[in-house]
Structure 1
Amino acid sequence: MEFVKFAVCGLWMVAVCGDVVVDKAEAPVPLVIWHGMGDSCCNPLSMGGIKKLVEQQIPGIYVLSLKIGDNIVQDMENSFFLNVNKQVDIVCDQLAKDPNLQQGYNSMGFSQGGQFLRAVAQRCPSPPMKNLISVGGQQQGVFGFPRCPGESSHLCDWIRKVLNVGAYTRAIQEYLVQAEYWHDPLNEEEYRNGSIFLADINQERGVNESYKRNLQALNKFVMVKFLKDSMVDPSDSEWFGFYKPGQDKETITLQESSLYSEDRLGLREMDKAGKLVFLAADGDHLQFSVEWFNEKILPFLR
């Protein structure tokens, strides 16, 4: 389960770690949070802790931690088994009906929540998303298993190839969330044709101009990569990089990809305009300190 871990100082030490001074004359921009695989909206050790931290650091802020389902159990189950496109539709409806968000909001997605919130930005421009922060999100998908990176384990490599035989069947795509961002670099055509979520939001089958326009409306698109990540394979996906097509050893950066050179999603233009921010955290997946969070993330939440 992808729970956020604070590596240095606990939430109870917020006062020691330092408070953020905000202008009381101007209401803080609301924040929407989407959790990762196997987590929930309100776990006090993960999203509940993040919500509390942000509220303590930015007095008066409205924080919505998304819950997909009627209760926490359903929320956790849906992170594995509810079609991502349906989840995005549910969230877009929630945001549109929330009176606290109508003037705009910032968003912060953890692990798979990072690419899910990007889908919200691309598909649902109202209310407007201002800044999008992807914390360990797999923007180009994954081709490996949690804490079992394929390039360093023959067994993992074998398992993921077995999964890949059925990853793009309609049944698996409809009912297994992680299959919807499974990206096979050994068979890019099958991925493009079979992926019902990631291939769509990454403009792999054609260019939806509204996706491009809506994403470019962001003030900042912040991507956090964990330098010792043992969960995401390849971890370069957290900065929109991925394996070079046709093999699974060598990775290329976003700037070396056809997505960038053809600018199908508008990322090249955003990069040149200074709207893309690449941050690094020196830890394993979703492990960071409160001090790091305060210094690197809070400035984008004001």
Structure 2
Amino acid sequence: MGKSFRQSVLLFTVTAFLFSFFPVSISIPFILFHGIGDKCSGGVNNFTQRLSNLSGSPGFCLEIGNGEADSWLMPLRQQASVACEKVKQMKELSQGYNIVAQSQGNLVARGLIEFCDNAPPVINYVSLGGPHAGIAVVPKCASGPICVIAEALMKLEIYNDFIQDHIAPSGYVKIPGEISKYLEHSKYLPKLNNERPDERNSTFKDRFTNLHNLVLVMFQNDTTLIPKETAWFGYYTDEGFDTLLSTQQTKLYKEDWIGLKALDVAGKVKFVSFSGDHLIVAYEEVVKYIVPYLMQTSLSIL
């Protein structure tokens, strides 16, 4: 028994020693954020499971609050804060993770990346139809009483404090020709995009620049995001709707407020165009443009 015990101890010691010098590869998990008016159950859960099956990586749809209602009524800064705390509590993500986000969920994802202190690192980030540079028109609402109330309130005065504090998409409505009001009263996107000259935060930029890959998917026939180019950080000029700037023409890119240019120059940004309407993704597009960024493995077993 004594000899057998000593052999077991020796084997364990040698194995631990080898692992410390030759770590094995494990799949990096991913989390998914759904869009406005949606929830993790149903179709979103099916999509998460499909991505997990195709990539071989564990995936989790991260629900904020009660899902559908809170996606409309919880301000985005609070949604990002909830996501931050949830991620830090998930042991599966402690060594790093990937993100896939749909529509408004991208602004929660980016808030998590930029604002969350002491969080595990985000490796790859796949953005599906994200309103990254804002939207110039109040988003369409599907149906239901919450939808009707939220849409009506936003049409009253988008930059009113009450609206900003209670209607999530008001935090990224950016009306061309009203940029001074937007910068003064909008409570989310100007901070997220480091747009206020006297409030730019280098930490937000550093965290965003640490991404290994950023995949920006724009839907060519998008009728939800106005303009659709916001999915690539393109947007109208401050003066009005007459001129639409490409990503590289915007001040956000040229002056590199959040590190998008740095990522692009390093070859880490993929500008991808899907042919369908908002969030209509074909199986072939999933396999070609999304799954590869969820298949990366880490080089640590710890």
TM-score range, shorter chain: 0.7 to 0.9
Question: Identity over aligned residues, as a percent?
Answer: 29
Asked if structure 2 preserves the Cα contact closer than 8 Å seen for 1:115 and 1:134, the reply is: no
Higher Cα Rg, which structure: 2
Q: Quote the offset at 1:250 in angstroms.
A: 2.0
Asked if structure 1 preserves the Cα contact closer than 8 Å seen for 2:154 and 2:163, the reply is: no
Q: How does 1:120-269 map to 2 (within 5 A)?
A: 120-124=112-116, 126-146=119-139, 163=154, 166-205=157-196, 206-269=199-262
What TM-score do the two structures reach when normalised by structure 1? 0.82
Residue 293 of structure 2: aligned partner: 300
1:132 match: secondary structure? strand
1:63 to 50, 54, 59: 59
2:268 to 243, 266, 275: 275
Asked if structure 2 preserves the Cα contact closer than 8 Å seen for 1:109 and 1:133, the reply is: yes
1:222 match: secondary structure? strand
Q: Provide structure 1 residue ranges, at least 5 long, that are not aligned to the other structure.
A: 1-24, 149-159
Residue 98 of structure 1: aligned partner: 90
Q: Quote the offset at 1:236 in angstroms.
A: 0.7
Q: Quote the offset at 1:169 in angstroms.
A: 1.0
Residue 7 of structure 2: aligned partner: none
| Deviation string, structure 1 residues 259-299 (Cα, Å, up to 9, x no partner) | 11211111111111112111000010000111110111111
Q: Quote the offset at 1:163 in angstroms.
A: 5.0
Letter in 1 for 2:224: M
Q: Distance in 2 between matches of 1:85 and 1:28?
A: 30
Q: Distance in 2 between matches of 1:89 and 1:116?
A: 9
What TM-score do the two structures reach when normalised by structure 2? 0.82
2:47 to 43, 47, 50: 50
| Deviation string, structure 1 residues 7-52 (Cα, Å, up to 9, x no partner) | xxxxxxxxxxxxxxxxxx6321100100001000122x2x111112
Q: Does 1:32 align with 2:31?
A: yes
Asked if structure 2 preserves the Cα contact closer than 8 Å seen for 1:146 and 1:230, the reply is: no
1:287 match: secondary structure? coil
Asked if structure 1 preserves the Cα contact closer than 8 Å seen for 2:55 and 2:292, the reply is: no
User: CA RMSD of the aligned region, Å?
Assistant: 1.7
2:239 match: secondary structure? coil
Asked if structure 2 preserves the Cα contact closer than 8 Å seen for 1:29 and 1:106, the reply is: yes
Q: Distance in 2 between matches of 1:216 and 1:288?
A: 27
Q: Quote the offset at 1:64 in angstroms.
A: 1.4
Task: Figure out how many residues of one structure are paired with residues of the other and give that number.
Answer: 259
Letter in 2 for 1:82: M
Tell which deviates more after alignment, 162-171 or 25-34: 162-171
Q: Distance in 2 between matches of 1:145 and 1:261?
A: 27
Q: Distance in 2 between matches of 1:50 and 1:208?
A: 35
Residue 115 of structure 1: aligned partner: 107
Q: Distance in 1 between matches of 2:88 and 2:140?
A: 37
